[in-house]
Amino acid sequence: MERRPMEKKRFDVAVIGAGPGGYVAAIKLAQNGRSVALIEKNFLGGTCLNVGCIPTKTLLANAQIMHKVKRAGEYGIVTGPVTFDFAKMKQRKDAVVEKLRKSLGTLLQANKITIVQGEAAFTSPHELKVVGKESGWIEFEQAIVATGSQPLDIPAFACDHKKILNSTSILELTALPKKLAIIGGGYIGCEFASLYAEFGVKVTILEALPTILSLQGKSLAEALTSSFTKQGIEIQTGVLVQGIEETSSGVSIRLKDRSPVEADLALVAVGRAIASKGLGLEKAGVQTSDKGAVIVNDKMRTTVPHIYAIGDVTGQFLLAHVASHQGIVAASAILGLRAQMHYNAVPAVIFTEPEIATVGLSTEQAVAAGYSVTVGRFPFAALGKSIATLDTDGFAEILSDQKTGQILGAQVIGHEASTLIAEMALAIQNELTLECLIETIHAHPTLSESWLEAALIANGTPIHFPPKRK
């Protein structure tokens, strides 16, 4: 058979990976007149759209409805027995992903971006080889590595995707287990625990550290632990998982110095592996850290000046909105525009019931950074809107610099925390003080008044909260 030579194409910029980092950078570059190849080996939208943010939040939306329906009686609404169809929920999740993936394809085409379907690897500092549906070579002036991350697999309890699942394979379930053991009490472990517990699954979280969500700070970890425990979720902390054996009925999780945990299924959620292997980075001269993260500066430039890296592959924050922002910064640098990455006002949300959201420094981080901090915490139980809607669990908390009043961090646990945090991200990004917040009129009755009240408490001038005893 005659072998056709592989085609070679030339672009101003080659972007490897079409997740929220890569596709956003590609759009910005194309809108500014650059010819762009966006190379994707799997699906447009990356982890976030296909097996991350969007499918999980679609399923969690069902859990939110379930949560409200269970409490209908408290609002004076009489319901009959409530049942659900998990297979239909999975179908809806697939349809949402499909719809967004199609719209993204249309958006990229409208921006005249060339989508190349295949796996890319550097062959030199200015060339990539692509193998897949479309094979060939791509020559570029500049490149952006946006290859993301994958679920971390631990050899001692490797996923078989039948009984031992990861965050991708669990999304394929069409029926619920009776018992689910989750290894890892971070973002993914807690979100899936919340989702499954709401539908009556007996969930056990097995976390190696002394608390779940240890990175979010003590007060949030304690608040979520208490709420999860009330919901019947069992949490074992400080555990060392030694292995998982499959049994006739499910799995048996072997723990060091503790009794094994039996469940129908296990979910392994112990972090992410950075996707930098097999990319031929060494052929381009791009350096990585010990953990495989591509080393970048604040303009997202790697150790090779015409090659940039953004998103999870840089190992910083591993959040979709951070990847997209880094994409804008890298594209701006390529276009010769001023832009720089700052990480002091990164909002992060954990979509559990109740939701958790943070931005800026936690108390522990602020103290470690040498600040004398003032903390203002306002409980939703004291807010008119929360009482009206029966969403009184949780609090909003602001940390400020005692000397200047500048807002350093904010955290909120409770209803709509995901939406509430945006105001504090804007405040911290723009170096606002407690005074600025106090002078801002907040609509009544809204949950956002909790920020005003927290600022007033921090300022020592509370209105809807008892003053400190002198």
Instruction: Provide the binding-site residues for ligand FAD, judged by CB under 6 A.
Output: 16-22, 39-42, 46-48, 52-53, 56-57, 119-120, 146-149, 167, 188, 275, 279, 311-312, 318-321, 323
| Closer CB to ligand FAD, 22 or 217, in the complex | 22
For the bound state, the minimum distance from the C-beta of residue 53 to ligand NAD, rounded and expressed in Å, comes to 7
| Closer CB to ligand NAD, 149 or 332, in the complex | 149
| Closer CB to ligand FAD, 184 or 379, in the complex | 184
User: Residue 401, class by beta-carbon neighbours within 10 Å (0-12 exposed, 13-18 middle, 19+ buried)?
Assistant: middle
Structure token digits, residue 349: 């949300």
| Closer CB to ligand FAD, 19 or 360, in the complex | 19
For the bound state, the minimum distance from the C-beta of residue 348 to ligand NAD, rounded and expressed in Å, comes to 6
Structure token digits, residue 214: 């240890």
Concatenate the DSSP letters of all residues of 187-256 into one string.
HHHHHHHHHHHHTT-EEEEEESSSSTTGGG-HHHHHHHHHHHHHTT-EEEES--EEEEEE-SSSEEEEET
For residues 306-332, b (16+ Cβ closer than 10 Å) or e, as one string?
ebbbbbbbbbbbbbbbbbbbbbbbbbb
227 close to 242: Cβ distance less than 8 angstroms: no
| Closer CB to ligand FAD, 48 or 427, in the complex | 48
User: Residue 442, class by beta-carbon neighbours within 10 Å (0-12 exposed, 13-18 middle, 19+ buried)?
Assistant: middle
Q: From the list ligand NAD, ligand FAD, none, which binds 208 (C-beta under 5 to 8 Å, kind-based)?
A: ligand NAD
Q: From the list ligand NAD, ligand FAD, none, which binds 122 (C-beta under 5 to 8 Å, kind-based)?
A: none
Q: From the list ligand FAD, ligand NAD, none, which binds 42 (C-beta under 5 to 8 Å, kind-based)?
A: ligand FAD
Structure token digits, residue 199: 């539908």
For the bound state, the minimum distance from the C-beta of residue 82 to ligand FAD, rounded and expressed in Å, comes to 27
164 has which bridge partners?
266
CA 419 to chain centroid? 15
128 has which bridge partners?
122, 138
CA distance 325 to 105: 20
For the bound state, the minimum distance from the C-beta of residue 173 to ligand FAD, rounded and expressed in Å, comes to 14
| Rg of the chain in Å (alpha carbons) | 24
CA distance 15 to 26: 7
Single out the catalytic residue among 161, 321, 415, 444: 444
Q: From the list ligand NAD, ligand FAD, none, which binds 101 (C-beta under 5 to 8 Å, kind-based)?
A: none
Q: How many CB atoms lie within 10 A of CB 161?
A: 12
Active site residue 306: no
152 close to 273: Cβ distance less than 8 angstroms: yes
Residue ranges binding ligand NAD (CB under 6 A)? 183-189, 191, 206-209, 214, 241, 269-272, 318-319, 348-351
Q: From the list ligand NAD, ligand FAD, none, which binds 20 (C-beta under 5 to 8 Å, kind-based)?
A: ligand FAD
Q: From the list ligand FAD, ligand NAD, none, which binds 275 (C-beta under 5 to 8 Å, kind-based)?
A: ligand FAD
For the bound state, the minimum distance from the C-beta of residue 12 to ligand FAD, rounded and expressed in Å, comes to 18
Q: How many CB atoms lie within 10 A of CB 133?
A: 11
CA distance 33 to 421: 35
Q: From the list ligand NAD, ligand FAD, none, which binds 271 (C-beta under 5 to 8 Å, kind-based)?
A: ligand NAD
Amino acid (one-letter) located at 169: S
**Residue 242: closest CA among 261, 263, 256:** 256
For the bound state, the minimum distance from the C-beta of residue 239 to ligand NAD, rounded and expressed in Å, comes to 6
For the bound state, the minimum distance from the C-beta of residue 22 to ligand FAD, rounded and expressed in Å, comes to 5
Residues annotated as catalytic (active site), given as ranges? 444
